[in-house]
Structure 1
Amino acid sequence: MKKVTKIAQNTTDLTEQAKLRVAAYCRVSTDSDEQLESLDTQIKHYESYINANPEWEFAGLYYDEGITGTKKEKRPELLRMIADCENRKVDLIVTKSISRFARNTTDCLELVRKLLDLGVFIYFEKENINTGSMESELMLSILSGLAENESFSIAENNKWSIKRRFQNGTYKISYPPYGYDNVDGEMVVNKSQAKIVRLIFSEILAGKGTNKIADDLNRRKIPTKKGGHWTSTTIRGMVGNEKYTGDVVFQKTYTDEHFNRHNNHGEKDQYLIRNHHEAIISHEEFEAAQDIIEQRGKEKRLEKQSKKYQNRYPFSGKIICGQCGGTFKRRTHTSGKHPYAWCCSTHIADIKKCSMKYVPESDIEYAFVTMMNKLIFGHETVLKPLLISLRGINSDETLENIRALDKKLEENAEQRNVLVGLMTKGYLEPAIYNKSNNELLQEAERLRRQKESITRFLNNDFQNLSEVSALLQFTSRTSMLTSFDGEIFTRFVDRIHVYSRTEIGFELKCGITLKERIVK
């Protein structure tokens, strides 16, 4: 006789009310002792507040300290909390007020809508607003607008206060540059770091490049101000910093009305204070170093603030290593038959991580000329069929599919609104609400991904169509190239893939990649 095992009936009440997973968010806008004490008070308050509610389950506490609230990107804990909401770890967020959550109307509404789409509500204690029971966004928009104005007003007051301290010379530099320490609000020379500063200036005056200086410091394992690695950019910034002469220029940067920071090129007043602190470098050494940096830039046809500074060669930033994915850098060879070559930056830093050897610049240029001449010769058989194929895409059908997906997304949103209404009025148990809402959210996410995929496909095809048309027009009207032309390369090539020293691929802006062999 077969053995039969009885599985007992599940008598659990499936409609048993599940506890809401509640998290709290706190923020203080400065790192002063008084504000940090306020933060400690908030933390204790929310821990006891959430744990005191028998229908709530404590889901964590997120807090940002010493960080401005004007932009969400500057608050890592807020972003971590949103990520946990996306991972279904939080059902409700409690925060003190709208101004603590966001002082930017756009960010506030964007975050609220994003969390509502995830089925997560926010309760603002001060304003007594629960986004789960709001009929519209009007009140939240008004209040967050007021919070933004409050933030702007505080920022303007702070700017005025700082400007006054600039003018009367009482502004304190809280984070001095490498070579100095902050002692009771004053800049004091750090003797060990000052030796490195003098070394850097002496080597600049001796003609050594910033890359070589950075490499030497890294090889000697001398840490930077923050304990990191030296770079040529760090060295250039130090050599151009007037603070090493004992002088200081205030307001070299400024923040606009949208809370974005800019370098000050005369848009705002600047304030120079001479003999502000002890000097490490003399004015004569400093001026001589500036002259050397400026002369070196002229020799390389570079100017400060020029867009060509980082991309002064047609291949700059466009050559990709097929082995490690790193970008190639231009190298100058003092001997041999290839004075200029391009080499993988990873290989330069550590040959063990990438064995890809350099490719002569002349070989890349010759390969490009060969590839373009093939297109000029065979544009009728290569580019025309591609153009006809792209034009044959049924864009009307694609747009109809997008409209159908938009309609489904609207219906999905309406169904979720109905669920919210039923739950807030007590007609629906939270457990059933969560199950149904999660299913709708999953469906909405699937529809959004499908729409994004179709839209991206359609946009790419339109872009490719335009690029193929331009390339066909060029190749059909141009005679064979006899030499490399950087403007033609920049116009039609997006990047170069180096597969080996004998094979590279030109990824064109029209979406196709053409391989060429390098003939030695």
Structure 2
Amino acid sequence: MPQVKVIQPIAEQAKKLRVAAYARVSSDSADQLNSFATQVDYYTSYIRSKEEWEFAGLYADEAVSGTTADKRDDFQRLLADCRAGKIDRILVKSISRFARNTIDCIQTVRELKQLGVAIEFEKEEIDTGNMGSEMLLSMLGSAAQEESLSISKNLKWSYRRRMKSSDFITCNAPLGYYLKNGTLLPDPQEVPIVEYIFSSYLAGKSMEEISNDLNAQETQFMRKKKARWYRTSIRYVLSNEKYIGDSLLQKTYTPNELPLVNVRNNGQLSKFYIKNSHPAIIPVEVFETVQDLIESRAVFHQPTSVAGSFSLSGILKCSICGSTFHRHLKKDIARWNCSQHAKDANLCPMRAVTEKEAYHIFLNVYNKLLDNQDILKAMLNQLLELQTKVMFTRPDIVELNEKISELIKQNHSLTRLRTKGCIDSAIFIERSNRNNQKIEELRRELRRLQEPDEVSRIVDNTKLLLELLEEAQPMLKFEPSIFKCMIQKIIVYPERFCFHLINGLVLDEGRCSR
């Protein structure tokens, strides 16, 4: 008699929850830095102790205010990873660590809930994955917001009182100085950079040329977080009175409303000018000469027209010579000519494009795309599949997170040893500074790796195109705003236009026959 052998199914292995932690302190005092290290140590160990959890990374913003989300680099990186589907759950010590702005708090929680990401606030014992209502979270978020406003008001009152008595100069040392016991002192490593900027400007170089020179020399300083120099940063140095030993206080101020953002003080509050508040780097005569030179150069470099004031500005490119088309009026008809052809017809034979023709051809492309949105949808599905494959092949990011966590643990251990008197202060400072420098280098590398790649940008732009076309009506009249949102450039051929959309899709359309 035949026997039946029953084969038991293999139990499916339970999928682990990918859990991340977010830590933040909003003061640069030693106690708060210690609190920061404690949060890092606690959550790293806690997540790894749970068998059903998988460590998805630690996101930490150190010495940054929590009132606005856009000031916190790691907070933004955390949200980006949640949107990319890399995280299932977030652990936070309290709502005040997560946000001190009720609107930001509620909006972020709502978005993460829609993404399927739960947040657990330890202090308040709130798990957004189990919440049926946002009322409790809103009340607690409002309390955290009021706490933040109160702290801000007290700090501002203290700063203004000290400004009046000349006891307060600045919280942040500009290039060329460092702070010691509240006093600005020249930094020997950075003073030559300041002197170079002033001497170069007096020698006739423009601010743009000076910034290019400094970038070419890779002039950087570890204490500042700028990787590149720009024209605006050169102008800030040249016009800063601190380099002649004086201080103009309260150039900016923070209004008593959220978000707590610094705005320029245009007479709303009193300013305080303190002479000889610290050692000078630049002689007064040199500084005043530079100010006169800035003013005189500004007169000779007034812009004569507004660049990019037309929809097609910078968009039309010649397929023959690669030049950009420029607009000209002839008998009240707007025409766009290849710049080489405009100089000499022998340099490029490309004929002119009337503005009316370009608009008409765009209407054809737009309406055809409106009727064939499936092209974009199929493209988006393929891109999302590619993005998912790329996302889970990044062991380098995991390794960097682990290195950062280990260095922060070392700093925490050093703090404990110093508190107990087991190590000398000089050794503590030397090792802490070395670790902090390594942490900053690793974080820069992590931010570089976490920057949206080309696939992510194309995905976002394809979604934007679909949103523009969703429930849209056929376009009968040229709409500049929609054109700007959709088109990156147009290559003009003698017989056709080649439209390059913002997501890389290329569409051809024949030119109007004459």
- TM-score of the superposed pair, with normalisation by structure 2: 0.61
Q: Which AA in structure 1 matches 2:245?
A: G
The 1:246–1:128 alpha-carbon spacing in structure 2 relative to 1, beyond 3 Å, is same
User: Per the alignment, in what secondary structure is the counterpart of residue 478 of structure 2?
Assistant: helix
Per-residue deviation, 1:90: 3.5
- Counting only pairs closer than 5 Å after superposition, residues 309-458 of structure 1 correspond to structure 2 as 311=306, 318-319=313-314, 363=343, 371=352, 374=354, 454-457=466-469
- Counting only pairs closer than 5 Å after superposition, residues 1-400 of structure 1 correspond to structure 2 as 9=7, 11-14=9-12, 19-50=16-47, 56-191=53-188, 193-218=190-215, 222-223=219-220, 226=224, 228-256=227-255, 257=257, 258-301=259-302, 311=306, 318-319=313-314, 363=343, 371=352, 374=354
The 1:387–1:315 alpha-carbon spacing in structure 2 relative to 1, beyond 3 Å, is closer
Q: What are the Cα deviations for residues 158-216 of structure 1, in whole angstroms up to 9, with x where unaligned?
A: 22222222222222434322222333432122346434433433343343322333344
Distance of 2:251 and 2:121 partners within structure 1: 39
Distance of 1:503 and 1:190 partners within structure 2: 63
The 1:275–1:360 alpha-carbon spacing in structure 2 relative to 1, beyond 3 Å, is farther
The 1:277–1:361 alpha-carbon spacing in structure 2 relative to 1, beyond 3 Å, is farther
Q: Which AA in structure 2 matches 1:137?
A: E
The 1:466–1:284 alpha-carbon spacing in structure 2 relative to 1, beyond 3 Å, is farther
Percent of paired sites with the same residue: 36
Distance of 1:319 and 1:175 partners within structure 2: 41
Distance of 1:293 and 1:68 partners within structure 2: 35
The 1:82–1:265 alpha-carbon spacing in structure 2 relative to 1, beyond 3 Å, is same
Distance of 2:42 and 2:63 partners within structure 1: 19
The 1:87–1:40 alpha-carbon spacing in structure 2 relative to 1, beyond 3 Å, is same
> Are the counterparts in 2 of residues 497 and 504 from structure 1 also a CA contact under 8 Å?
no
Report the counterpart of residue 339 of structure 1 in structure 2.
none
> Are the counterparts in 2 of residues 22 and 92 from structure 1 also a CA contact under 8 Å?
yes
The 1:32–1:134 alpha-carbon spacing in structure 2 relative to 1, beyond 3 Å, is same
Per-residue deviation, 1:261: 2.8
> Are the counterparts in 1 of residues 64 and 71 from structure 2 also a CA contact under 8 Å?
yes
Distance of 2:55 and 2:217 partners within structure 1: 50
User: Per the alignment, in what secondary structure is the counterpart of residue 277 of structure 1?
Assistant: coil
Distance of 2:323 and 2:245 partners within structure 1: 40
> Are the counterparts in 1 of residues 496 and 508 from structure 2 also a CA contact under 8 Å?
no
User: Per the alignment, in what secondary structure is the counterpart of residue 207 of structure 1?
Assistant: coil
Distance of 2:312 and 2:363 partners within structure 1: 29
Q: What are the Cα deviations for residues 289-344 of structure 1, in whole angstroms up to 9, with x where unaligned?
A: 11111111111226xxxxx89x5686999537979xxx999xxxxxxxxxxxxxxx
> Are the counterparts in 2 of residues 223 and 230 from structure 1 also a CA contact under 8 Å?
no
Unaligned runs of 5+ in 2: 325-337, 374-459
RMSD between superposed Cα atoms in Å: 5.1
Distance of 2:499 and 2:9 partners within structure 1: 64
The 1:452–1:84 alpha-carbon spacing in structure 2 relative to 1, beyond 3 Å, is closer
Per-residue deviation, 1:245: 1.2
**Do structure 1's residue 467 and structure 2's residue 478 form an aligned pair?**
yes
Distance of 2:162 and 2:34 partners within structure 1: 27
Q: What are the Cα deviations for residues 64-111 of structure 1, in whole angstroms up to 9, with x where unaligned?
A: 221111122222333333344345443332222111111112221122
Q: Which AA in structure 2 matches 1:255?
A: T
Distance of 2:217 and 2:461 partners within structure 1: 50
User: Per the alignment, in what secondary structure is the counterpart of residue 154 of structure 2?
Assistant: helix
The 1:47–1:215 alpha-carbon spacing in structure 2 relative to 1, beyond 3 Å, is closer
User: Per the alignment, in what secondary structure is the counterpart of residue 319 of structure 1?
Assistant: coil
Distance of 1:20 and 1:128 partners within structure 2: 19
Distance of 1:191 and 1:56 partners within structure 2: 50
Distance of 1:269 and 1:151 partners within structure 2: 24
> Are the counterparts in 2 of residues 25 and 63 from structure 1 also a CA contact under 8 Å?
yes
Per-residue deviation, 1:243: 0.8
> Are the counterparts in 1 of residues 169 and 277 from structure 2 also a CA contact under 8 Å?
no
Q: What are the Cα deviations for residues 252-282 of structure 1, in whole angstroms up to 9, with x where unaligned?
A: 2223422233222323322211111112223
The 1:360–1:242 alpha-carbon spacing in structure 2 relative to 1, beyond 3 Å, is farther
Q: How many equivalent residue pairs?
A: 394
Unaligned runs of 5+ in 1: 1-6, 303-307, 330-357, 399-447, 471-490
The 1:170–1:514 alpha-carbon spacing in structure 2 relative to 1, beyond 3 Å, is farther
Report the counterpart of residue 401 of structure 1 in structure 2.
none
Distance of 1:451 and 1:228 partners within structure 2: 32
> Are the counterparts in 2 of residues 387 and 465 from structure 1 also a CA contact under 8 Å?
yes
Q: Which AA in structure 2 matches 1:11?
A: P
> Are the counterparts in 2 of residues 498 and 505 from structure 1 also a CA contact under 8 Å?
yes
The 1:252–1:514 alpha-carbon spacing in structure 2 relative to 1, beyond 3 Å, is farther
The 1:89–1:207 alpha-carbon spacing in structure 2 relative to 1, beyond 3 Å, is closer
